[in-house]
Amino acid sequence: MTATSRLDRVRDHVVENRETVLADLAFAVVWVAVVTLLFDVLQGPRWVYHLTLAGGVVAHYGFFASLDAASDQSN
């Protein structure tokens, strides 16, 4: 597979899933900003900062799973 065809596949995927990609990006930016601000104020240990950033993955799936569940209940 050539680099051009890979880029075309990535571009097609992003175009097809634009809203989901933007929601994921927004969640990631907000999560990192909040965690960074919190640890700038609290001066916590570096390893806890990294663990909290990694916890964003779990928070992401939990948040969007609850949104899906809520939208399924309303329909």
State if pTM tops 0.75.
no
Q: Is the dihedral angle over the CA atoms 33, 37, 42, 47 positive or is it negative?
A: positive
Name the token pair of 57: 């993955």
Question: Measured between alpha carbons, how far is 19 from 51 in angstroms, rounded to an integer?
Answer: 28
Asked if residues 59 and 31 have their Cβ atoms less than 8 Å apart, the reply is: yes
- CA torsion 27-28-33-39 (nearest 10°) is 110
Q: What is the pLDDT of residues 21-53, one digit of tens each?
A: 888 889 899 999 999 999 999 998 999 999 999
Give the pLDDT of residue 75. Answer: 66
